Amino acid sequence: VLYGSLLLFFFVVSMQTTYTNVPKREGRKLFFDTHAVVRLLENNGFRIEQAEVIVNVLVQMTSSNMDVIYSDMVTKVQQEIMLQRVMSQIAAVKKDMIILEKSEFSTLLAENEVKRLIILRIKYICVLQDIMNKLRSDNLLDMNLEKSRVKELVMFLQTAEHERHLTQTNMKIDTEVAGLKTMLESHKLDTIKYLAGSIFTCLTVVLGFYRIWM
């Protein structure tokens, strides 16, 4: 930016520079003898009219070339004035550039601070999201574990209750079987007593009849 500004000021100053001290075309001196050139051309077979035309062309070409050369030249005084103008313009540009750089630097610092805060906020949000996701996954895992434990406990309680019912049922069955056995034993004893009494009665009757018949 500074280099382009300097080139622009050089161009403006150079365009504004006057060339009042540059020699005019009418006052310039030619550094060759036109008459001698005409004589030389005549001695080489040219007519005098042709030689004068050639010399005039040479003079015009030389004047045009000198115009081009003088258009790019300035005097020492003009050069010093132009240099002072350029230096003052450069100093002004430097001052403006310093002010601009300071303001731009302050703006960049503020923007960078805002961006830094935004980045930190985004990082914190990402960290919080990671923590929340981890807590959520841990809670889900704990809930699944608790569900599994509750299911296992329910199954264990159901199994224990079922086994208790089975045990009670078996005990009832055993008690009833024992009662039935006792009842059968008592009935068997009564039956034996009844049979023994019946047999004894029959024997008594038979003996009575036997005594009667005898």
pLDDT tens, residue by residue, 151-191? 888 898 888 888 888 888 888 888 888 888 888 888 788 88
What pTM was computed for the model?
0.31
The residue extents of the domains of the chain are 2-129
Question: Under a CB-based contact definition with an 8 Å cutoff, are residues 78 and 18 in contact?
Answer: yes
Q: Can you give the pLDDT at residue 9?
A: 44
Q: Select, from the ranges 58-67, 87-96, 141-150, the one with the highest average predicted confidence (pLDDT).
A: 141-150
Q: Which residue has the higher pLDDT, 15 or 210?
A: 210
> For 181-207, b where at least 16 C-beta lie within 10 A, e where not — what string?
eeeeeeeeeeeeeeeeeeeeeeeeeee
3-class secondary-structure state, position 29: coil
Asked whether residue 57 carries a pLDDT value surpassing 60, the answer given is yes
Q: Can you give the pLDDT at residue 1?
A: 43
Read off the pLDDT of each residue in 25-35 and give the average, rounded to a whole number. 62
Which residues 6+ apart lie within 8 Å of 13 measured at CB?
Answer: 82, 85, 86, 89
Q: Computed over its alpha carbons, how large is the radius of gyration of the chain?
A: 70
Q: Can you give the pLDDT at residue 72?
A: 67
Q: Which long-range contacts (CB under 8 A, 24 or more apart) does 158-164 make?
A: none
Question: Under a CB-based contact definition with an 8 Å cutoff, are residues 32 and 63 in contact?
Answer: no
Residue 51 CB neighbours (<10 A): 20
Q: Which two tokens stand for residue 157?
A: 């309680």
Q: Which residue has the tokens 């005898």?
A: 214
Q: Can you give the pLDDT at residue 185?
A: 81
Selection from 39, 41, 40, 34 nearest residue 60 by Cα: 34
Interval 84-121: pLDDT, tens: 888 888 888 888 878 877 777 788 888 888 998 999 99
